[in-house]
Amino acid sequence: MRESLNVLVRALQEGNVDAFDQIYEITHKAVFYSALGILKDQSLAEDIMQDTYIKFMKSPQSYHEKNFLAYLITIAKNLAINEYKSRKRVQYTDNLEQNYEMAFTGCIEINAEKKELIERALSVLDPLEKNVVLLYNISNMTHKEISLVLSKPIGTITWTYAKALKKIREAIKEE
């Protein structure tokens, strides 16, 4: 994925604006979830996602790094942190479950029976575990990329993911 993104970014930098659509399609979920992890609000995360791409498109020539996804996520995280600070650290934890549910169901189409099972499985997880599971399984991010998004050591991410899977297995087994 990293190589294909770098090829697309080079094409965009050379003036092929059609490459942006492919870049967006590959990266938008990771950018969205990185903002959602900080802001805990779906509409704000969507705004930050748009602002991230706008900021990049203003100067695509400024990108010279090796990992474009990490570059975009860094932009999104910085914008989300700025937004969070500007809102004077208002907590949105009351709507956290609803935001994750809306974001999750918006990413994939599932039948009602599977949706109920997935919701029950996710309900046993704490917010960090849920974030890691969703980023890994929905956004297809690696543990290393998730550690960048969540600003946690890769060992913590790996351990959290394993712990979350164990909790999910136990919850499903009980039923």
Pair (139, 71) in one structural domain: no
- Same domain for 104 and 40? no
Q: Is residue 21 part of a domain?
A: yes
Report pTM. 0.54
The domain that contains 70 carries what CATH number? Answer: 1.10.1740.10
Split into its structural domains, the chain has a count of 2
pLDDT score of 7 more than 50: yes
Please indicate, yes or no, whether residues 82 and 101 belong to a single structural domain of this protein: no
Tens-digit pLDDT profile for residues 95-148: 444 555 555 555 555 556 667 777 777 888 888 888 888 888 877 788 888 887
Whether residue 153 is contained in a domain is answered as yes
**Is 91 inside a domain boundary?**
no
- For the beta carbon of residue 16, count every other beta carbon within 10 angstroms: 12
- DSSP annotation of 151: T
- Measured between alpha carbons, how far is 19 from 26 in angstroms, rounded to an integer? 11
Mean per-residue pLDDT for 11-34? 89
pLDDT tens-place string over residues 37-71: 888 888 999 999 999 999 988 888 888 777 888 88
